[in-house]
Amino acid sequence: MSGIDPEVLLAAGYSVFLLVTAACLEVAARQSHRRSELMRVKGFRYDPQLDLWHCPNNEKLLRAEVDYGNRTVFYRAAAHACNRCPIKDRCTDSDEGRVIEHRPDSWVESELRRFHRGISLALVVLAALILIVEFVRYTGTENRTLVGGMLLFLTIYGSRLAAIMVRADQGM
């Protein structure tokens, strides 16, 4: 460690901070998405064998429409069932029946999720740029070994984040 310039150590530390921030953002965004998805269908149960949802009052929401462009499946309860339901005011304000929008895509395929992933990637790129500048500025073996190793790790992590977005764009 004696041969490593203090500025390189500070840059490496800041890069680690950016990387940890990006990873925490990924975890927080994924958790937030999971919670919001669960709240959106709280009390409802999905039956994958019948491809329908059951509401808290045990009415069925049947597949009503599929939007292939947005990769969304819409399930709707019968209007008459919802309109006579004793808990309608806690469930829906629609007179046409409760609708559940289901997106079977992975976590990264919604616009909000893609936004969070973009911020994470920006942080990883910023960390890599800082390290690249340090790699060019300081030529000592210890400096370049530290910075090069961190750049390799950032490249692998950033590539994994980017690959998930690319696969989502290609519809895989």
Is the pLDDT score of 8 beyond 70?
yes
pTM: 0.67
* String of DSSP letters for 114-132: HHHHHHHHHHHHHHHHHHH
Measured between alpha carbons, how far is 127 from 18 in angstroms, rounded to an integer? 6
> Which token pair is 113?
């999720």
Is the pLDDT score of 103 beyond 80?
no
pLDDT at 167: 64
pLDDT at 172: 46
Q: Per-residue pLDDT averaged across 134-146, rounded?
A: 92
Edge-to-edge, what's the strand order for the sheet holding 45-47?
45-47, 52-54, 60-67, 72-77, 99-102
